Structure 1
Amino acid sequence: MFGAFRPSQPSFVGLLWKTPWKLSRTRKANARFRLKRVDSVIEAVEASGVHCAALDKALELPKEHEMPARDKYTVFSKHAKNYRKGIHKVPKWTRLTLRTNPKGF
């Protein structure tokens, strides 16, 4: 217990990174705001007259107001109980496009 190899304080406490099981109001609002900003960037690029494969793919994605809440805040997961998990449980979820999900889930 004592000496050079005693356990550190975090190992006494338990889980080091505590992730809440659901998104707070603030995090949901920030997620919606982020989706709206991406929509505005896509519209601006389209209005500028640029044509590329990435823009064509981005135009196929649903806009923020067209997405149901289920798709805004959760993603498909084959390991989860109801095949859905919160977007905040996905690594780097603020930088990924999570707008598309498998049909029926």
Structure 2
Amino acid sequence: MFGPFRATQSLSVGLLWKIPWRLSPTQKARQRKRLRRVDDVVATLDHALAKLRMSTKKLERWKEEMPREEEMLPKDKYTVFDRKEKKYRKALHKLPKWTRVSQRLNPPGF
């Protein structure tokens, strides 16, 4: 209580940096916007290369394998697979640098 060993304010509060356990509506909106911007870039590249009658393997592979934002389930938009988690899903914002990494594909069934 009093004296040299009293608890300081920061020790009694707990963690200083707290990450909320769910995404806020604005974070979700920004995530959807990010996914749509990537889709727009892929569509623009595809259209420009089609005009030149060219194509790239990576662009074709992206179009085949990656779902567009409107085709994705909400579960896949906002969570990622993590084998260490209890239900094998982890909120997207808990990943480091989650705004820069494409997380469109997850193992089926999880």
User: Shorter-chain TM-score: which interval?
Assistant: 0.7 to 0.9
1:66 aligns with 2:71: yes
> 1:95 aligns to what?
100
Q: Using structure 1 for the length normalisation, give the TM-score.
A: 0.84
Deviations 1:17-43 (CA, angstroms, capped at 9, x unpaired): 211100011100110011111100000
Please say if 1:76 is aligned against 2:81. yes
In the alignment, structure 1 residue 52 sits paired with structure 2 residue 56:
yes
Over the aligned positions, Cα root-mean-square deviation in angstroms equals: 2.0
Segments of 5+ residues of structure 1 without an aligned counterpart are 3-7
2:90 match: secondary structure:
strand
TM-score by length of 2: 0.80
Distance in 2, Cα, partners of 1:16 & 1:51: 50
Quote the sequence identity (%): 49
Give 1 or 2 for the bigger CA radius of gyration.
2
The one-character-per-residue Cα deviations of 1:4-29 (angstroms, maximum 9, x if unpaired) are xxxx9756643232111000111001
Corresponding residue for residue 86 of structure 1: 91
Matched length: 100
Residue 16 of structure 1 is matched in structure 2 by 16
Question: Matches of 2:93 and 2:10 in 1, distance apart?
Answer: 23
Name 1:36's counterpart in structure 2.
Answer: 36
